[in-house]
Amino acid sequence: MNILIKNVFAVDPQSELERLVDIGIDGGIITAVENPGSISDKDAERVIDAKGKLTALPGLFDMHVHFRDPGQTYKEDIITGAAAAKAGGFTGVACMPNTKPVIDNAELVKYVLNKAQKTGIDVLPIGCVTKGMQSKELCDYNELKAAGVCALSDDGRPVENAELMRQALEKTLDNGLTVLSHCEDLKIINGGIINKGEVSKKLGVKGMDRASEDYITAREIALAMSCGAHIHICHVSTRGSVNIIRAAKKDGVNVTCETGPHYFTFTDEKLLSRDADYRMSPPLRTEDDRQAVEEAVLDGTIDCIITDHAPHSAEEKANFETAPNGVVGLETSLAATLTKLYHTGKCGLGRIAELMSIRPRQILGLPTTKIAVGERADLALIDVDYEWVVIPEQLHSKSKNSVFKGERLKGKNLYTICKGKVVFEYQSNAKGE
């Protein structure tokens, strides 16, 4: 046996598991899930004794990250992005294609997959919906799927041509790929940089009207309905979008959606500091929107939690009004979710496993990771009570633009095991903790 994890509280809704166990791992596979003390230490090459203080979740999966590779590797690359993912408890991620050049052909898909082999986790490329992300011509989806993409998206911008988007959705009925839609109408945004409202007025900057998100969300659902296709709505941030998606689900539309922890944690009041690290797209909204997003996570309207990990250099983020949108989040996502939802008694660990591990893989048609005998050994071992302060300089990402900087969070991933290997082990420096 390669690894024995002793006295760990395992939580996996798929296996109806929520109890203290010993987990045996050999050859990359879970070989035993037994009552504590049932497996001898002598049978294991390595023993991790959780001492009843650690929780095992199925390895997390983030279906929405930006690793900036190829083309902008001064911000992040596949290796450093994967390092941040492993630190956060993720054994898999899906990378958006808005790199330079964009991932719209088989050669670039293979580039990502080849580089990903060095990371120790699953780094899966998403292919473009349209060539060059120009909303003029559809990509060759058969070529992209054969090369290894796990989904399609023009994330960073919507597909502006509605008929082209409808055709893309129609094609997914044959190719089986899910289209992930960035729901922001660029003409409505029209140069806005934060949520349009009282805060934008106070700061004297142009706002991004919520209609930009709500309109495209409604459009995508109407297009999906027209051809009976599946549509996935990215980074939901408004009450309007939540209500539209909830109603569509009740009507039987095949729609799924996601949000990031920042949308159910913060509001646009954070922007009063004129700090561009709190700028992302879509933007932080109002308290009413925050509450709506949180409610939607808890009632199942929102299917999964993602990070939209979007690294930018300190120089790029220095000017509040001209900085690019985006925040890093892989190393804070689980902790923020535990802090805001679990430790407030609003959400159990089983639901968090669904949101951050199970549903993202299901939406993309990928095999889920389970804590069960015979399954691939992908685990996040977390201390749900570990309190720490987010210090950007200590993050594994090349970029430090964290929306949670300076926040005290409760809960931390201590070990990440992927394919039966310990790919991350937390070493505390005790600073700020």
Catalytic residues: 308
User: What end-to-end distance do the CA atoms of the chain give, in Å?
Assistant: 35
Amino acid found at 192: G
For the chain, the residue count is 433
Amino acid found at 59: G
Beta bridge mates, 55: 9, 382
Amino acid found at 374: G
The residue whose two tokens read 């190829």 is: 70
Nearest 5°: phi and psi at 76?
-170, 160
- Give CA separation, 105 vs 124, 129, 150, 165, 363, in Å: 14, 11, 14, 19, 23
- Give CA separation, 408 vs 18, 273, 338, 340, 388, in Å: 27, 19, 12, 11, 5
Residue 56 and residue 415: Cα distance in Å, rounded?
Answer: 9
Residue 356 and residue 375: Cα distance in Å, rounded?
Answer: 18
Sign of the torsion formed by the C-alpha atoms of 66, 209, 221 and 133? negative
CB 125 within 8 A of CB 112: yes
